[in-house]
């Protein structure tokens, strides 16, 4: 069902690649991802500023390791981000090392806690946008918990 979305066709390239179809909201997310750059090791991201309470966020879960808050541009009735409080080089999932296994598990467990608290028993999706082609716009690893309505397939 395509309620509330305006669709457009992106022109076919000279190499005759297949047409790509994208919604406006997806296009703007892709634009943000293309414009984003990985931060330098000590450079703060917007998520670091949320963790440090320098900028406001609608926080719905917090413990000593992770923070969960509502997305400011929700793509579904429930759209929550779950982030590690310490980045520790984990800007992208592809950069994960063995030392990150514990926090990766904590992120997924927190997603299940948030989903229960948000009454998503009928189902939800966990998304990790990784890198420019994955539409990652903030280089601080984070999970999107998306639910509250039937979700389509394929997602991209």
Catalytic residue positions? Answer: 142
Alpha carbon distances (Å) from 29 to 26, 69, 89, 122: 5, 19, 23, 27
Structure tokens at 64: 């000593």
- How many whole angstroms separate alpha carbon 27 and alpha carbon 33? 10
> Judging by beta carbons within 10 Å of its beta carbon (0-12, 13-18, 19+), is residue 10 exposed, middle or buried?
exposed
Structure tokens at 143: 């999970």
């Amino acid at each position: 069902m395509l309620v509330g979305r305006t669709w457009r066709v992106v022109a076919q390239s000279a190499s005759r690649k297949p047409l790509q179809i994208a919604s406006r909201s997806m296009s703007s997310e892709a634009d943000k991802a293309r414009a984003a750059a990985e931060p330098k090791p000590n450079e703060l991201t917007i998520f670091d500023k949320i963790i440090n309470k320098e900028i406001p966020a609608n926080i719905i879960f917090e413990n000593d390791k992770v923070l969960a808050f509502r997305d400011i541009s929700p793509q579904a009735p429930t759209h929550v981000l779950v982030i590690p409080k310490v980045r520790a080089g984990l800007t992208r999932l592809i950069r994960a090392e063995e030392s990150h296994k514990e926090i990766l598990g904590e992120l997924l467990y927190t997603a299940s806690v948030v989903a229960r608290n948000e009454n998503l028993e009928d189902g939800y999706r966990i998304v990790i946008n990784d890198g420019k082609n994955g539409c990652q716009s903030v280089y601080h690893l984070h999970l999107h918990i998306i639910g509250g309505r039937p979700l389509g397939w394929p997602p991209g």
